[in-house]
Amino acid sequence: MSSQRSSATDDKDRQVVVSVRFPSHLLERIQAMAVVLSSTANAVIRDGMEAWVREQAASPEFREASEQYIAKAQARVAAVLAEPPARK
């Protein structure tokens, strides 16, 4: 049991509190879902965001956007590392 407690404590210690604004109708839906699931609105939001991030990260659109981002970043780093032209 103590290892479960320390694991739960470790997970809680790694959480960060953020402020997020929701339209009232969406928050009402989240809260209603939490009640039906005997959960909390925070848990519903965390679970939903985890699923959304996982889905987006696996999408072709994200893969394409990430490849473009990496290419731009590599070009910027190459520009920084490039030798300047010799001054006359």
Query: For the segment 5-47, what is each residue's pLDDT rounded down to a tens digit?
Result: 566 666 667 889 999 999 999 999 999 999 999 999 999 999 9
Query: For the segment 37-80, what is each residue's pLDDT rounded down to a tens digit?
Result: 999 999 999 999 999 999 999 999 999 999 999 999 999 999 99
Look up the pTM and report it: 0.67
State residue 63's pLDDT score. Answer: 97
Rounded-to-integer distance, Cα 21 and Cα 8, Å: 27
Task: Give the pLDDT band of residue 87 (cuts 50, 70, 90).
Answer: confident
